[in-house]
Amino acid sequence: MYTEEEAVQIAEDYIRNAPTFKYDGIRRTLAVTGVEPLECEGCFEVTVEFSSKYPGYGIRDPYFLIQKVTPHIAKVRVERGEVTQAILDEIWDEMAQESIVE
In sequence order, the β-bridge partners of residue 34 are 47
Each domain of the chain, given as residue ranges in start order, spans 4-74+81-99
Q: What is the pLDDT of residue 68?
A: 94
The amino acid sitting at 68 is K
Q: What is the pLDDT of residue 9?
A: 98
**Could you give the 3-state DSSP secondary structure of residue 3?**
coil
In sequence order, the β-bridge partners of residue 49 are 31, 73
* 72-81: average pLDDT: 98
* 56-63: average pLDDT: 85
* 58-73: average pLDDT: 88
The Cα-based distances of 59 to 13, 24, 72, 74 in angstroms read 18, 9, 15, 16
**Residues 49/74, Cβ–Cβ less than 8 Å:** yes
Q: For the segment 15-33, what is each residue's pLDDT rounded down to a tens digit?
A: 999 999 999 999 999 999 9
